[in-house]
Amino acid sequence: MAIATALPDPRVVLPDDLPWATWMEGLQVKMLRCDLDNNEYTLLVRFAPGIELPRHRHFGQIHAHTIQGRWHYLEYDWVAEAGSYVHEPASSVHTLKVFDDNTDETVVLFVMQGGLVLLGPNDELWMYEDAESAMERYLLALEQEGKTLPNGLVL
């Protein structure tokens, strides 16, 4: 039992208590966790129907659980829908597209390990993102929208 008392207390995050921040038109996020030491973060992402993200490459694994809606990667023939779990191995490159026929937003929980690069039309580096820059982007978006971050984000 000595081991159990040495473990840190688990943290509970109530996503409804966290504000949505707009990262781009048609894409909003709630940052649930940010671990700068291990370069990991957890996002709840809400996509508008039909949105297509820039092609990107991950440096670490990604875990995605679809809560609502349907999405896929243009490079693959599978579809993630409500209840689906997707594991993306490190070094995967793809373009996320939400289906146009969704009647509501698509909501996905992403656990991001490591950074990623967004690629331009000729696969040139357009933007880098990791746990630190994602946290900064979230906080800046909240500030620009006049929202404050309530207690509860797991850091």
The helix (H) or strand (E) run that includes residue 140 is: helix 131-144
Question: Residue 9 above 80 pLDDT?
Answer: no
Whole-number average pLDDT of the chain? 90
pLDDT digits (tens, 9 = 90+) for 36-57: 999 999 999 999 999 999 999 9
Domain annotation for the chain: domains and CATH numbers: 31-144 (2.60.120.10)
Q: Strand order of the sheet with strand 70-73?
A: 80-81, 70-73, 96-98
pLDDT digits (tens, 9 = 90+) for 141-154: 999 999 987 665 65
Distance CA 117, CA 135 (A): 16
Give the pLDDT of residue 152: 58
Give the pLDDT of residue 1: 45
Are 139 and 30 spatial neighbours (Cβ–Cβ below 8 Å)?
Answer: no
The helix (H) or strand (E) run that includes residue 112 is: strand 106-113
Q: In which band, very low, low, confident or very high, does the pLDDT at 2 lie, cut at 50, 70 and 90?
A: very low
Residue 30, both tokens: 């709630």
Give the pLDDT of residue 11: 73
pLDDT digits (tens, 9 = 90+) for 99-144: 988 778 999 999 999 999 999 888 889 899 999 999 999 999 999 9
